[in-house]
Structure 1
Amino acid sequence: MIDDGRQSERDAIMRAAYRLIGHNASTTTSIENILKAARVNRRTFYRHFASKDDLIIAMQAWSGELVLERLHDAINAAESPAAAVAAWIDQYLSIGWDEAQFRDALAFLSADVASTPGIAAALEATYARHREPLAEALAAGLADGTLPNARPELDAFTIHAVAVRHLETRIRGRLDSDFTEVRDAVVGLVLTGLAAPAYYLKSEPPSTFRSAPVV
């Protein structure tokens, strides 16, 4: 258990690193600059982190937990499985349009983070945790019949991949669309597929579109 004083030091260091790394995404940020921004000395830094790489892994875990808390809150407030799926999509996509979350997300596309050993595995572990409440909502919809086409684990992975792709495009400055427009498009696409009559989802095309037999 970290006492309040040490926790404040740790948080100050991580917040300073977020600001600097996010604002200098194309270059590396030195520990010295992080120390100055956090107003702590090197001894204090090493009391909490073994290295800059350790700091970045901790930042990723911290950020991931904050996102997970918001996802759980959004899903718990939903009145149905379909509403829970929509709430998950809404909350996840909002990272790209909410100013504070956007600034944090910038850091994770930086040269500093990309070159950190172990960051890919740490990020995937966080992503897996983010998908869990979505998979649970999908399973609930499958169980009560409101989302009859749901395949909870696979669909959660697919929906998450779509959301992440939108976020990356947005954060890189290549998606200027209004949040509501993007959210409604993704929610509409997802829920239509999950609740559509089964015959729309068969892998074999309707007979009227089959190729003529070769003779």
Structure 2
Amino acid sequence: MTIAHKAAEIFVADGDTSATVERIAEAAGIATRTFYRHFPVKEDVVRPLFRHSSQLVIKALRDAPADGDLVEVLVVAWMSALEEQVVGPSERRFMAVVAASPQYRLRWMEVDDELSEAVAQFLAQRIGWSERPLERSLPAYLVVQATRHVFMQWITSETGQDIADLLREAFHMVLDGVRAPSG
């Protein structure tokens, strides 16, 4: 995480992801070889940051009350991750820099794919879906993709719209179209 945080600081300061591995390693106080032991390619340096956020969301979903409104539980889960990490202007700039780079955005998407399985388990328990792969995975995938889309709008928008409201709107759009399978 130390290496990932140093890379994020450099990316924000530079306004792009062009910093060299050598520069990131020096800022983290490690050798370049050590960097490559942790991250096979430079772009992987952002994964720990996104994985940490995912773990916070998963924990919030696991700790959620069983009788709470599904959309509100999802909103609270993602908001708790944002609040614990104290997402301010610098973190928003980091997310914008990552989103602007296809190689780094791909790492964000890969971690989101991992998160989709945990969301699928949560939704299956809450809604009672069968184990049919499409019924189980598609709603979770849509929830996670909607979340990323909301974050993309939030980090690039100057309107200052509340992210919880954006998440709520997106989750309603996705889940209002999902029904428990019949028979």
Instruction: Give the TM-score normalised by structure 1.
Output: 0.62
- 1:63 aligns to what? 49
Tell whether 2:120 aligns with 1:131: no
SS for the counterpart of 1:29 is coil
Gaps of 5+ in 2: none
- 2:87 aligns to what? 98
Q: Given residue 176 of structure 1, which amino acid in structure 2 is its aligned partner? A: G
Tell whether 2:127 aligns with 1:142: yes
Contact 2:146 2:171 in 1 (8 A): no
Larger C-alpha radius of gyration, 1 or 2?
A: 1
Q: Map of 1:156-171 to 2, 5 A cutoff?
A: 156-171=140-155
Pick from 2, 7, 16: which aligns with 1:12?
A: 2
RMSD: 3.6
1:155 Cα shift? Answer: 0.9
- Which 10-residue stretch deviates more, 68-77 or 19-28? 19-28
Q: Given residue 18 of structure 1, which amino acid in structure 2 is its aligned partner? A: A
User: Could you say if the C-alpha distance between residues 183 and 82 of structure 1 is closer, same or farther in structure 2, counting changes exceeding 3 Å?
Assistant: same
Q: Given residue 64 of structure 1, which amino acid in structure 2 is its aligned partner? A: F
Distance 2:118 2:17 in 1: 36
Contact 1:19 1:103 in 2 (8 A): no
Pick from 40, 48, 52: which aligns with 2:35?
A: 48
User: Could you say if the C-alpha distance between residues 183 and 47 of structure 1 is closer, same or farther in structure 2, counting changes exceeding 3 Å?
Assistant: closer
**Paired residues, what number?**
173
Contact 2:71 2:168 in 1 (8 A): no
User: Could you say if the C-alpha distance between residues 169 and 135 of structure 1 is closer, same or farther in structure 2, counting changes exceeding 3 Å?
Assistant: same
Contact 1:25 1:109 in 2 (8 A): no
Contact 2:147 2:167 in 1 (8 A): no
Q: Given residue 98 of structure 1, which amino acid in structure 2 is its aligned partner? A: V
Gaps of 5+ in 1: 1-10, 145-149, 199-215
Contact 1:81 1:138 in 2 (8 A): no
Distance 2:68 2:138 in 1: 16
Runs (4+) off by over 4 Å: 50-53, 81-85, 93-97
Pick from 26, 30, 41: which aligns with 2:20?
A: 30
- 1:80 aligns to what? 66
Contact 2:150 2:167 in 1 (8 A): no
Instruction: Give the TM-score normalised by structure 2.
Output: 0.71
Deviations 1:178-209 (A, max 9, x none): 1332233234444544469x9xxxxxxxxxxx
1:48 Cα shift? Answer: 3.3
1:76 Cα shift? Answer: 1.3
Distance 2:11 2:40 in 1: 13
